[in-house]
């Protein structure tokens, strides 16, 4: 009995192959986008783990000083029996990028990932220690190192991308620095050692950096996951639409099977088994497609993470079986969720129910009003979370309630808009078009909801990125007021450069900084001179009246917005910079793109407390026509590398380039989501095209050609898409508001002003129209080619 009944159910798909394809492709797309995003996240996390296992992230103790740690300190500690090992880190500019150099001493360093090749015998260790040196880099970094002047390299997959492990002496030479950054202190030390304080003046700190990257990038991955979830939900709309239609069309078959003696429970089990089989096949195809999408997205994500957080993520995608299994599970769960309603309907269907398929998903007015009531409740919840939420999770919950609420409200809003349009004067066909469009809203509502979400995501993310870009560009103009930025390779060269530049420049502004923890988190403290460059240009968000006087005389400190928001520091509050140095906060400035806290005070006050910090960087004010000439001279006379004398426009260009790359992934996901929404519309229109005949045939019989009917079909679809687009604009702006004022503030610590881009909306309306046109093209072509006999069959008495 099972086999016979199952085959009878399956025969439906043979008669409706398009519906089968719709169901499978919908589930495949949903799984692909979700699992693709998850694969990207998993790869990024694997990279963080590798980075965390590296030197800078290992939770070891370290000895640091006010400035570079002299090698003599290392020697003294080793002689005293202390197991310490030197580490120096720095960025080495390359032709098109930079390389993170980590200098270690292979003979004293604790075991660490990446150094394995030195332990394998052979000549790797002698070469590593030799004068010429040897770099150990990740396979994806190797192609960047083909230029002249760099030591030879070998590869290890354990080294994070963009990083090179070298002998610390070679690092000193390449970075042009004396001493090292810190000394690692092994956890296990020999017995009977003299106290550290007797051997050295260096400070012992516990490294809190472990998992920093994972922590910093959490919000980014949450963002990505939210996008994946959105795409998954849009895909499930397609699946639910297809499953629902299939169940409706099989009402008569189901009734007959029951009448012939197949028990309801057996029938339900067979339907569930059919769904399980289809979901498994589609899920597997979705996983394969998801892997391809992830591989395509990963370079963009890597660029984003590098741009936003300085986190290096491998551009190569690995395959994790756990990922595949979880993706398949989510696919099956999604199919179950999409099919649950239909299965429930079958379970409730009386055996003597009408066999004629009802217009599927044609919700009654009451159902639409109920949906509207739920929508209003969700929108109210979203509003409440926006104003009283106060956390990142609340921010995302606010977004979810907003999007689901708006999607649920869509049918009622569209019906309202169409009713308004019906009041305007129109011809008989216009009247029919609008009335017909109203009738089509309920069965098309799932596809239209998918379109609404995709369009709103486009507007919301576009507005956020555009606002960010506008603010960032303006901020760069303010922040990068100096015409030239010069970095010396050592203190002696810094003195020479100063002497050279002083008579030529309008002003020479030192940029000296110290890395210090502020309120327990890593931060930078800068010292600046009193100059109009700062007074006139610095992007202050809030300040006391005499802010610059206070900063200049070292009686006040400026802090960046991130630090102020994270630690809830108000103007006038005292900020502890070191245990014996506290200053009142005199101003807060915007500092986009930086996740760390930052503070600025007078340079004299800073120098007095940190006299040994290297003073290598200068911002140079000079007439713009002299910039190129001075740059050339610096390179010629001092042999200064290009990267050490950068003009303002180059820095801006670089920053904006990083910015643009940062949001490449969002744009890619936007396009994919819109594509899925267009596919949802196509599948809905295709599914409905069979049910449309009884609605269109009377109009055809009354004297409209199939061609004119097709034109009206297109007009109706485009009208619904444009009205959806119209509603997507306020929703998208609300989404942007939440992103800018809640999610960004909670995730990054900065609040951005919102800028509107109406021209983008017009483009998006155009895209929505094109998506709707593309979606209705096939069903409409089928309509124009429909033989008269098919239309007449609608009226046939002897069917």
Partner 1 sequence: MLDAQNLVKSYPSAGRRLEVLRGVSLHMAARESVALTGESGSGKSTLLHLLGCLDTPDAGRISLQDTVLHDLDETGRAAMRRSRIAVIFQQLNLIPSLTVAQNLSFQARLAERFDADWTAELTDRLGLADLLDRYPEQLSGGQQQRVAIGRAVALRPEVVLADEPTGNLDEATADTVLDLMLDLARDSGAAFLMVTHSPRLAARLDRRLHLEKGRIV
Sort strands 153-155 and 135-137 into parallel, antiparallel or unpaired: parallel
Single out the segment in contact with partner 1 by CB under 8 A; choices: 69-77, 85-93, 260-268, 434-442: 434-442
> Which residue, 61 or 708, has its beta carbon nearer to partner 1?
708
Single out the segment in contact with partner 1 by CB under 8 A; choices: 60-68, 76-84, 279-287, 427-435: 427-435
> Which residue, 23 or 697, has its beta carbon nearer to partner 1?
697
Single out the segment in contact with partner 1 by CB under 8 A; choices: 230-238, 406-414, 703-711, 739-747: 703-711
Nearest approach in angstroms of CB 364 to partner 1 is: 11
- Residue from 296, 337, 393, 435 touching partner 1 (CB under 8 A): that is 435
Site string for partner 1, 287-326 (x = CB under 8 A): ----------------------------------------
Number of H helices, E strands in the chain: 27, 18
- Residue from 438, 565, 661, 751 touching partner 1 (CB under 8 A): that is 438
Nearest approach in angstroms of CB 798 to partner 1 is: 5
Phi, psi of 193 (to 5 degrees): -80, 150
CA 686/CA 22 separation, integer angstroms: 9
CA 569/CA 657 separation, integer angstroms: 32
**Neighbour count for residue 515 (Cβ, 10 Å):** 12
**Contact indicator for 415, 439 with CB cutoff of 8 Å:** no
- Residue from 244, 706, 732, 779 touching partner 1 (CB under 8 A): that is 706
Binding footprint of partner 1, residue count (CB under 8 A): 32
- Residue from 25, 171, 697, 720 touching partner 1 (CB under 8 A): that is 697
- Residue from 2, 705, 763, 785 touching partner 1 (CB under 8 A): that is 705
Nearest approach in angstroms of CB 695 to partner 1 is: 6
Q: Which two tokens stand for residue 326?
A: 């979880």
**H/E segment holding residue 781:** helix 758-784
**Cα(first)–Cα(last) distance of the chain, in Å?**
30
Single out the segment in contact with partner 1 by CB under 8 A; choices: 151-159, 368-376, 503-511, 692-700: 692-700
Nearest approach in angstroms of CB 432 to partner 1 is: 6
Q: Which two tokens stand for residue 755?
A: 């800028």
Question: In 3-state terms, what secondary structure has residue 180?
Answer: strand
**What's the distance, CA 374 to chain centroid?**
30
- Residue from 253, 704, 715, 726 touching partner 1 (CB under 8 A): that is 704
Single out the segment in contact with partner 1 by CB under 8 A; choices: 200-208, 426-434, 501-509, 661-669: 426-434
Site for partner 1 in 59-78 (CB under 8 A): none
- Residue from 142, 363, 658, 699 touching partner 1 (CB under 8 A): that is 699
Site for partner 1 in 756-795 (CB under 8 A): 788-789, 791-792, 794-795
**Contact indicator for 627, 646 with CB cutoff of 8 Å:** no
- Residue from 429, 715, 722, 756 touching partner 1 (CB under 8 A): that is 429
CA 231/CA 725 separation, integer angstroms: 18
Nearest approach in angstroms of CB 794 to partner 1 is: 6
Nearest approach in angstroms of CB 425 to partner 1 is: 13
Should residue 439 be labelled a site residue for partner 1 when binding is judged by CB under 8 A? yes
- Residue from 201, 206, 431, 477 touching partner 1 (CB under 8 A): that is 431
Nearest approach in angstroms of CB 415 to partner 1 is: 12
> Which residue, 243 or 791, has its beta carbon nearer to partner 1?
791
Q: Is 336 exposed, middle or buried (0-12, 13-18, 19+ CB in 10 A)?
A: middle
Q: Which two tokens stand for residue 257?
A: 């099977």
CA 778/CA 785 separation, integer angstroms: 11
Nearest approach in angstroms of CB 792 to partner 1 is: 6
- Residue from 59, 611, 639, 698 touching partner 1 (CB under 8 A): that is 698
Question: In 3-state terms, what secondary structure has residue 577?
Answer: strand
> Which residue, 259 or 435, has its beta carbon nearer to partner 1?
435
- Residue from 426, 653, 707, 785 touching partner 1 (CB under 8 A): that is 707
- Residue from 225, 695, 741, 755 touching partner 1 (CB under 8 A): that is 695
Q: Which residues pair with 155 in a beta bridge?
A: 137
Question: CA torsion, points 693, 695, 701, 705, in degrees to nearest 10?
Answer: -70
Single out the segment in contact with partner 1 by CB under 8 A; choices: 239-247, 424-432, 600-608, 659-667: 424-432
Nearest approach in angstroms of CB 399 to partner 1 is: 36
Cα 579-584-589 angle, rounded to 5 deg: 110
**Contact indicator for 229, 39 with CB cutoff of 8 Å:** no
Nearest approach in angstroms of CB 369 to partner 1 is: 18
Nearest approach in angstroms of CB 366 to partner 1 is: 15
**Contact indicator for 23, 246 with CB cutoff of 8 Å:** yes
Single out the segment in contact with partner 1 by CB under 8 A; choices: 535-543, 579-587, 701-709, 741-749: 701-709
> Which residue, 72 or 435, has its beta carbon nearer to partner 1?
435
CA 572/CA 398 separation, integer angstroms: 33
Question: In 3-state terms, what secondary structure has residue 72?
Answer: helix
Should residue 348 be labelled a site residue for partner 1 when binding is judged by CB under 8 A? no
Q: Which residues pair with 61 in a beta bridge?
A: 185, 206
Should residue 570 be labelled a site residue for partner 1 when binding is judged by CB under 8 A? no
Three state DSSP letters for 309-376:
HCCCCCCCCCCCHHHHHHHHHHHHHHHHHHHHHHHHHHHHCCCCCCCCCCCCCCCCHHHHHHHHHHHH
Which DSSP category does 69 fall into? B
Q: Which residues pair with 617 in a beta bridge?
A: 487, 511
**H/E segment holding residue 750:** none
- Residue from 259, 377, 701, 766 touching partner 1 (CB under 8 A): that is 701
Phi, psi of 165 (to 5 degrees): -90, 130
Should residue 708 be labelled a site residue for partner 1 when binding is judged by CB under 8 A? yes
CA 209/CA 521 separation, integer angstroms: 9
> Which residue, 431 or 502, has its beta carbon nearer to partner 1?
431
Which DSSP category does 743 fall into? I
**Contact indicator for 89, 164 with CB cutoff of 8 Å:** no
Binding residues for partner 1 (CB under 8 A): 427-429, 431-432, 435-436, 438-439, 694-695, 697-708, 788-789, 791-792, 794-798
């Amino acid at each position: 009995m099972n086999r016979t009944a199952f085959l009878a159910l399956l025969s439906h798909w043979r008669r409706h192959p398009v519906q089968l394809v719709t169901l499978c492709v919908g589930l495949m797309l949903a799984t692909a986008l979700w699992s693709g995003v998850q694969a990207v996240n998993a790869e990024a996390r694997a990279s963080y783990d590798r980075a965390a296992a590296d030197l800078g992230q290992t939770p070891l103790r370290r000895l640091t000083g006010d400035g570079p740690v002299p090698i003599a300190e290392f020697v003294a500690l080793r002689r005293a029996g202390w197991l310490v090992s030197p580490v120096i880190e720095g960025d080495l500019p390359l032709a098109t990028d930079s390389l993170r150099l980590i200098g270690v001493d292979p003979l004293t360093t604790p075991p660490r990932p990446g150094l394995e090749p030195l332990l394998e015998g052979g000549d790797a260790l002698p070469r590593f220690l030799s004068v010429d040196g040897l770099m150990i880099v990740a396979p994806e970094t190797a192609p960047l190192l083909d230029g002249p002047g760099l030591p030879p390299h070998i590869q290890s997959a354990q080294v994070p991308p963009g990083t090179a492990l070298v002998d610390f002496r070679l690092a000193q030479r390449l970075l042009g620095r004396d001493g090292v950054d810190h000394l690692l202190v092994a956890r296990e030390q020999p017995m009977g050692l003299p106290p550290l304080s007797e051997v050295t003046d260096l400070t012992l700190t516990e490294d809190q950096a472990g998992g920093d990257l994972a922590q910093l990038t959490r919000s980014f991955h949450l963002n990505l996951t939210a996008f994946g979830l959105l795409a998954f939900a849009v895909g499930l709309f397609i699946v639910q639409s297809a499953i629902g239609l299939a169940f409706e069309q099989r009402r008569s078959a189901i009734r007959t099977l029951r009448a012939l003696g197949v028990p309801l429970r057996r029938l339900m089990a067979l339907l569930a088994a059919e769904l399980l089989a289809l979901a498994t096949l589609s899920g597997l195809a979705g996983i394969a497609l998801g892997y391809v999408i992830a591989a395509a997205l990963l370079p963009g994500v890597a660029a984003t993470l590098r741009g936003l957080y300085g986190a290096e993520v491998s551009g190569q995608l690995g395959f994790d079986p756990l990922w595949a299994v979880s993706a398949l599970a989510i696919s099956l769960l999604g199919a179950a969720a999409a099919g649950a309603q239909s299965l429930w309907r079958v379970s409730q269907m009386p055996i003597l129910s009408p066999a004629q398929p009802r217009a599927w998903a044609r919700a009654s007015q009451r159902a639409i009003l109920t949906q509207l009531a739920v929508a209003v409740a969700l929108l109210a919840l979203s509003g409440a979370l926006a104003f009283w939420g106060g956390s990142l999770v609340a921010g995302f919950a606010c977004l979810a309630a907003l999007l689901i609420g708006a999607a649920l409200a869509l049918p009622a809003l569209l019906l309202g808009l169409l009713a308004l349009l019906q009041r305007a004067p129109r011809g008989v066909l216009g009247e029919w078009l609008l009335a017909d469009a109203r009738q089509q809203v309920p069965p098309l509502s799932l596809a239209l909801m998918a379109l609404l979400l995709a369009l709103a995501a486009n507007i919301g993310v576009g507005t956020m990125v555009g606002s960010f870009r506008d603010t960032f560009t303006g901020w760069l103009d303010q922040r990068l007021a100096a015409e030239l930025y010069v970095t010396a390779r050592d203190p002696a060269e810094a003195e020479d450069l100063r002497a050279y530049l002083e008579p030529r420049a309008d002003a020479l502004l030192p940029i000296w900084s110290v890395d210090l923890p502020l309120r327990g988190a890593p931060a930078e403290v800068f010292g600046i001179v009193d100059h109009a460059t700062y007074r006139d240009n610095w992007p202050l968000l809030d300040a006391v009246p005499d802010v610059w006087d206070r900063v200049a005389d070292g009686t006040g400190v400026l802090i960046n917005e991130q630090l102020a928001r994270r630690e809830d520091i108000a103007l006038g509050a005292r900020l502890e910079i070191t245990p014996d140095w506290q200053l009142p906060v005199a101003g807060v400035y915007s500092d986009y793109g930086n996740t760390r806290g930052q503070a600025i005070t007078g340079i004299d006050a800073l120098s007095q407390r940190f006299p040994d910090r290297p003073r290598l960087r200068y911002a140079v004010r000079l007439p713009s026509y002299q910039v190129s000439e001075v740059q050339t001279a610096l390179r010629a006379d001092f042999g200064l590398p290009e990267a050490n004398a950068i003009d303002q426009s180059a820095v801006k260009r670089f920053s904006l380039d990083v910015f643009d790359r940062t949001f490449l992934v969002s744009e890619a996901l936007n396009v994919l989501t819109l594509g899925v929404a267009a596919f949802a519309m196509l599948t809905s229109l295709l599914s409905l095209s069979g049910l449309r005949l009884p609605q269109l045939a009377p109009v055809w019989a009354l004297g409209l050609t199939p061609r004119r009917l097709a034109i009206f079909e297109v007009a109706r679809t485009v009208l619904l898409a444009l009205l959806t687009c119209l509603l997507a604009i306020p929703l998208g702006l609300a989404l942007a508001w939440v992103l800018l004022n809640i999610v960004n503030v909670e995730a990054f610590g900065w609040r951005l002003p919102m800028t509107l881009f109406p021209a983008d909306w017009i483009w998006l309306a155009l895209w929505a129209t094109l998506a709707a046109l593309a979606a209705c093209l096939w069903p409409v072509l089928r309509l124009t080619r429909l033989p008269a006999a098919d239309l007449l069959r609608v009226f046939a008495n002897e069917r």
